[in-house]
């Protein structure tokens, strides 16, 4: 079974990419496995915090067991991982048991989208710093980095290249999916997924300008430095 660990921060079109892979008949998906663990260990005030903790496993070993075990019904196990859910104490010995990929997005777009949904306290909330730590930890010779803007510009061409790098056959089903929620969506989808549930394909205005409010300029600058460094490795079309 091929396990794909797709690392990103929030508001990176990560759910749309999960939809794309889920629409393949040979793929099962897991939506943010460490979210409950993260909330339980940080006690941060997120929307639906208590419901998430009471619904999903927050024991680290239990989560690791779920994401590393095989399922003979499927060829691919796609996992949408939020980097900020990984704490400094989190055991990452399992990380080399799958194909690690990194999904990034212009920080201005991430920040302006995030603050519509939740309070932005520090760079930790949007995952850039932790994503860079994981990127450096893996030290891959040929890292697989997906820039969401490049993907949105030409989804078919981009996904074909991505599949090639993952040694997968491209499937046309990855380009479209049915509207609505999924049983595989986390219950937090009611808060965070209002945009994606109305979509049937990748879309978005990549040329739109996003102005970061002054209160978040320092966070933006720090994110931008990391973004520019990792973007050097992005798949090009």
- The domain ranges of the chain are 2-231
Q: Is the pLDDT of residue 220 over 90?
A: yes
Which residues fall within 8 angstroms of residue 21, CB to CB, at 6 or more apart? 4, 27, 29, 76, 78, 174
Rounded Cα distance between 92 and 3, Å, is 15
Rounded Cα distance between 12 and 141, Å, is 24
pLDDT higher at 178 or 120: 178
Taking the C-alpha atoms of 217, 111, 49 and 187 in order, what is their torsion angle to the nearest 10 degrees?
A: 180
pLDDT for 159? 97
Pairing of strands 76-82, 99-104: unpaired
Mean pLDDT lowest among 31-35, 67-71, 127-131, 208-212: 208-212
Kind plus residue range of the DSSP H or E element containing 63: helix 60-68
What confidence tens digit (pLDDT) does each residue in 5-50 have? 999 998 889 999 999 999 999 999 999 999 999 999 999 998 999 9
Rounded Cα distance between 116 and 118, Å, is 6
Residues 40 and 59: beta-carbon distance below 8 Å: no
Which CATH number describes the domain made up of 2-231?
Answer: 3.40.50.300
Percent over 70 (pLDDT), the chain: 99
SS3 112: helix
Backbone φ and ψ for 47, nearest 5 degrees, come out as -55, 135
pLDDT band at residue 205 using 50, 70 and 90 as cut-offs: low
Q: Please give the mean pLDDT across all residues of the chain.
A: 93
Q: Is the pLDDT of residue 176 over 80?
A: yes
Rounded Cα distance between 81 and 7, Å, is 5
pLDDT for 11? 87
């Amino acid at each position: 079974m091929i396990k794909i660990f797709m690392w990103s921060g929030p508001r990176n079109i990560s759910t749309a990419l999960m939809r794309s892979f889920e629409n393949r008949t040979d793929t099962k998906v897991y939506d943010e496995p460490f979210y409950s663990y993260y909330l339980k260990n940080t006690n941060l005030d997120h929307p639906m915090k208590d419901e998430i903790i009471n619904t999903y496993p927050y024991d680290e070993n239990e989560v690791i067991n779920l994401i590393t075990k095989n399922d003979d019904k499927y060829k691919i196990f796609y996992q949408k991982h939020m980097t900020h859910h990984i704490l400094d104490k989190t055991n990452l010995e399992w990380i080399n048991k799958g194909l690690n990929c990194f999904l990034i997005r212009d920080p201005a777009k991430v920040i302006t989208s995030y603050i519509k949904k939740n309070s932005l306290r520090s760079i930790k909330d949007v995952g850039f710093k932790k994503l860079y730590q994981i990127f450096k930890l893996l030290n891959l010779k040929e890292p697989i980095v997906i820039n969401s803007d490049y993907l949105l510009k030409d989804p078919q061409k981009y996904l074909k290249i991505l599949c090639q790098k993952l040694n997968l056959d491209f499937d046309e089903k990855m380009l479209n999916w049915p509207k609505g929620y999924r049983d595989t969506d986390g219950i937090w989808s009611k808060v965070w997924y209002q945009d994606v549930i109305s979509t049937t394909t990748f879309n978005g205005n990549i040329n739109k300008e996003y102005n970061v409010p002054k209160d978040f300029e320092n966070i933006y600058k720090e994110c931008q430095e990391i973004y520019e460094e990792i973007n050097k490795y992005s798949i090009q079309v």
